[in-house]
Amino acid sequence: MRIVIGEDNALLREGMSLLLTSLGHEICATVEDGDSLVATLLEQRPDIAVLDVRLPPTYRDEGLRAAVAAREELPDLPVLVLSQYVEHAYAARLIANGASGVGYLLKDRVGRVEEFLEALDRVAAGGIAMDSEVISQLMVRRVRDDPLKALSSREREVLSLMAEGHGNGAIAELLFIAETSVNKHIGNIFSKLGLPATDGGHRRVRAVLAYLNSATSQEGCPGTS
C-alpha cells in the first residue's frame, strides 16, 4: 500500500519507513511538520496516513488537525495516529460522523511490531484500531441521551474490546467466557443499536463507531482553520 508518514522524530520516521518498505509497502512521502502535511496528503492521496499528533512548528496538535482537514477533502482517507498523547477534541472530530478507517495508538503502549502492523492493515481496510487508554479517556464524558444506554455492562465490555480490534475468540479469552457467549452478546449489540443483518460485515464497524461517538459527541471541538 502507499503510505504517507507524518513524524518529526527522525529515528522513528526512518525506522517506520525501513520497516514498511521491507514489507513491500511504498512510502510515497515523509513529512516532518504540520504546515505541509495537508498539502502532501491531498497531493499524494495515499492508501493510509500514519501521523503523530504533535508536530512542528508549535508541537501541539498539528498532525491531528491536518488529518481532520485532509479528511474533509478526502473522507475515505484512512488515518492511523501514533502519539504519546490523547488530544481529545480533534480525536473526537476524527472519529465523528460515521468515519471509518481510523486508528489511534499510544506509542508507549505498542508492545510489538505485529500490533502496529495489524492496526495498519485494519485501518487501511476501513476498520477501527483504538488503544484502550484512548477509549478510556474519551469515555470520561458521557452524553445524557447515550445511544448505548440499552446495552448491558457485559455488552459494553464486549463492544469496548471490539473497538480495540479484538476478534470474537480473543474477546472470549479476555473476558473468560465462551465464544458462543461473545457471539450472542454481539448479536444483542447489533439488535439494540438497530444495525440490520443486511449491513453484513459493516455492522461491526458501525457498532464501534456508535460506541466511540457516544463518548465524543459533546467534546468541544475547535475549527480547523
Q: Is residue 80 part of a domain?
A: yes
CA distance 70 to 66: 6
Q: Is residue 152 part of a domain?
A: yes
Predicted local confidence at residue 195, as pLDDT: 79
pTM of the model: 0.67
109-157 tens-digit pLDDT: 787 889 899 999 999 998 888 888 877 776 655 444 566 778 888 998 9
Give 142's DSSP letter.
-
Q: Is residue 105 part of a domain?
A: yes
Per-residue confidence at 199, pLDDT binned at 50, 70, 90?
A: low
Q: Is residue 225 part of a domain?
A: no
Within 13 A of 79's CA, how many CA atoms are on the CB side?
Answer: 31
CA distance 194 to 75: 24
- Rounded alpha-carbon distances, angstroms, from residue 124 to 1, 50, 117, 160: 9, 10, 10, 21
Q: Is residue 155 part of a domain?
A: yes
Q: Is residue 35 part of a domain?
A: yes
pLDDT at 100 over 80: no
Q: Are 156 and 186 in contact (CB under 8 A)?
A: no
Q: Is residue 104 part of a domain?
A: yes
Residue range of the domain that includes 52:
2-216
**Amino acid sitting at position 125:** A
Number of domains present in the structure of the chain: 1
30-77 tens-digit pLDDT: 999 888 899 999 999 999 999 998 888 888 888 888 888 888 888 889
CATH number of the domain where residue 61 is located: 3.40.50.2300
Predicted local confidence at residue 222, as pLDDT: 41
Q: Are 99 and 212 in contact (CB under 8 A)?
A: no
- Rounded alpha-carbon distances, angstroms, from residue 146 to 49, 90, 217: 31, 21, 10
Q: Is residue 65 part of a domain?
A: yes
